[in-house]
Amino acid sequence: MTPAAFKSCRRNINQMACPILLNYLLSNVFELLDKAIVGHYSVQGFAVVGAAAAFVYAITGALGILSAAFNIAAAQEKGQGREQGFETAFFVSKNLALLIGLGFFVLSLLCGRFFFQNVYGMRGEALEELLSYFYPAAFTVVQNMLIFQYSAYFRNCLNTRITLYSTIVSTVVNLFFDFSLVYGYCGLPRLGTAGAAWGSVIGLAAGLLVYQAAYLGPRYSAGRVFRRQPLPGAAKAAAKKIICLYPPLFGQELLESTVFACVVSAAAARLGTETLAVYSLLDTVAGMAGLPVYAYASAAQTLALQSHSAACRPAECGNVVTKAGLVKNYLTCGIRLAFCVIAALCALCGIFGKTLLYLIVDDAAVVAKAQHLLLFVFLLLLAKIPYQIYMNFLQGIGRERFVLLGTAVGTAGASLGCMIAGTLFGLPGIYSAMTMELAALGFCYAAAARSET
């Protein structure tokens, strides 16, 4: 990549990635404070909320992958300049998200107790405290699925600031109600750990209102080809495209972020409540420090797919960079930028790790054990960068079934490895197995992406 090409790609990716990164940062700062509120309320509450929240986040990721299917379809429509197709795809995807999310919420109410009793081995008071959090938290899956659709919509409009504004409003509202409902301040009832879940529901509702206001605002509604209802034929075609993309994307996310996440959480839970608390603490740190991976992967994917779909028109490329070259430049630039940011964050976490951990939970034994395992978290994050960026790109160019196969093989091997290594070596063994899986899959996906570009 020439210096001029790198500078151009870096500017474009940073313009899109920075608001996304700030949005992720705010979301994870909220998650950090949310867990801190519960962690200072009770250690048992912190442990069980960590287990329930990990499951909810995993399901949200698996079902929310519908937004990735929409993002792929939207990038193709945008790249070809088909605004009506873009709007129709959004209408269809948003309604699918609502239907799927509500289905999961009903299933959670019916089967939540059975699941946590038999899979997580929870009993008695710990189970009741977990369920008091899980039931309202299950509704956030519906809300987050809708938020993902709006985020992908505005990302393809090259305006990621709306997502940042929505998250700011959501976070402020969320924190106020979290603190008030957990401890019973401001005249609100004291709900304990369940208050954190209800605060999330209220905060996400506020964030959705911001998205809807922007969507209906004059900047986007004035030039919108699509008005109230899309044409039946166009809606059917958009639904067919999204539904065809959804199963392999869903399968990949289900295996990685739901099945595998549950295996890892269960492996940690079986090592004892304190070890589960350590894992929840490290998972929070990894989620916050790993934000640039997702931000740059998302930006690189959207720009690379739009360029791929537009066939790199001469007017856009100045007859200098070919389509394959432009796509490759975006992917390479995204990886370089993500590595730089992650390396800096890991260095900061290494220096101020103990202070950061004490902000989340004040149990000295938990903090001491977590501090010794931070290096494993850093290696995991570095291995995730090429894996995430190349995987996202392959999913958008018709190689989603290849990614699904790779994820299935990797999940099976890593799940077995985590259970065995966890039993033999504890959390260090679990993190080592996860890192090796990401490194192996990242190598395979990089080779496949290079063959396509």
The pLDDT value given to residue 364 = 81
Residue 185 near residue 37 (C-beta atoms within 8 A):
no
Distance CA 375, CA 373 (A): 5
- pTM greater than 0.75 (yes/no): no
Own/partner contacts of 427-430, CB < 8 Å, gap of 24 or more, are 427/268, 427/271, 427/275, 427/278, 427/279, 427/282, 427/369, 427/373, 427/376, 428/373, 428/376, 430/264, 430/267, 430/268, 430/279
The pLDDT value given to residue 142 = 92
Give the count of domains, the chain: 1
Q: Which domain holds residue 114?
A: 3-452
The pLDDT value given to residue 443 = 93
CA proximity to 52, closest of 199, 265, 358, 200: 265
The tokens describing 430, both together, are 């679990």
The pLDDT value given to residue 312 = 43
The pLDDT value given to residue 315 = 45
Direct distance between the N- and C-terminal alpha carbons of the chain, in angstroms, rounded to an integer = 14
Q: Which residues of the chain have pLDDT under 50?
A: 226-228, 312-321
For tokens 């890991």, the residue is 346
Q: How far are the Cα atoms of 82, 332, 396 from residue 338, in angstroms, in the given order?
A: 31, 10, 20
